Amino acid sequence: MTLIRSTVAAVACVLAFGATADAKPACVRAGGEATMVTADLAKFMANAALENSIKAKGLKASGPVKITCKAPAPLTYCLAERRACK
């Protein structure tokens, strides 16, 4: 039983870009999640979902990856988050 969902966990209005040349790049908190049988596999798949969501939006990853996991029996759920900028 495998469930992989990849989402960008930011509100759409955060992606609004200013028209000025010196505007700072817009950044979002991107996320990827996975529910798997083992913790190692859940972490791996959540990280893969995170990277896919960043690439799908045409963003560049910035900063460290934060992974949090919960283990309700018998599966493990993990969420990987990372800052991503245009």
Q: SS3 for 63? A: strand
Could you report the per-residue pLDDT of 22-58, keeping only the tens digit for each? 556 689 999 999 999 999 999 999 999 999 999 999 9
Any residues with CB less than 8 A from the CB of 9 and at least 6 apart, and which? 28, 29, 30, 31, 81
CA distance 33 to 79: 4
* pTM beyond cutoff 0.85: no
d(CA 32, CA 73) in angstroms, rounded, equals: 21
